[in-house]
Amino acid sequence: MAKKKSKSKVGSNTIALNKKARHDFHLSDKIEAGLELQGWEVKSLRAGKVNIADSYVFLKNGEAYLLAATITPLDKASTHSICEPMRSRKLLLKRKELETLIGKVERQGFTLVATAMYWKKNWVKLEIALGKGKKEHDKRSDIKDREWQVQKERAMKHKVR
């Protein structure tokens, strides 16, 4: 019997990352959500023309929406559709997930931040994290800890040789 060849993946499934979120927030719970997209947006995502650096999730009427995410339309996009790069996009979540998010945001003061956008099979998924804003001294202590880790690794590297 012949074995089926598995498709080798070229590149990464990641479309966009929000590195700024880790700097500005203490991130805790992560949730995966689907996105309701239009055809031109999917084509732009395949080309990598997306920015989620300043985006956040807004809860309204028991539904979640992604705001301030920019998906730049391609030059050869459809002429009969109106392309809005900064439109709000509905997130596809289960009712139980939505209820827990609403409870944590309204009662405990968390913020919902988009941290990553990626392909899962042929679906676009968005990773959302619950975050609390960092103060300036928190950011400085994080930088200090990061620099200490680098110095420690350098010292251990030189000791081994």
What are the domain boundaries of the chain?
14-134
Least confident span in 37-41, 78-82, 111-115: 78-82
Which pLDDT score, from 0 to 100, does residue 39 have? 84
pLDDT at 61 over 70: yes
Looking at the structure, give the CATH architecture of the domain made up of residues 14-134: Beta Barrel (2.40)
Which pLDDT score, from 0 to 100, does residue 8 have? 47
Asked if 131 and 110 touch (Cβ cutoff 8 Å), the reply is: yes
Which pLDDT score, from 0 to 100, does residue 81 have? 73
Q: How far, CA to CA in Å, does 103 sit from each of 62, 100, 106, 125?
A: 11, 5, 5, 23
Least confident span in 44-48, 54-58, 76-80, 153-157: 76-80
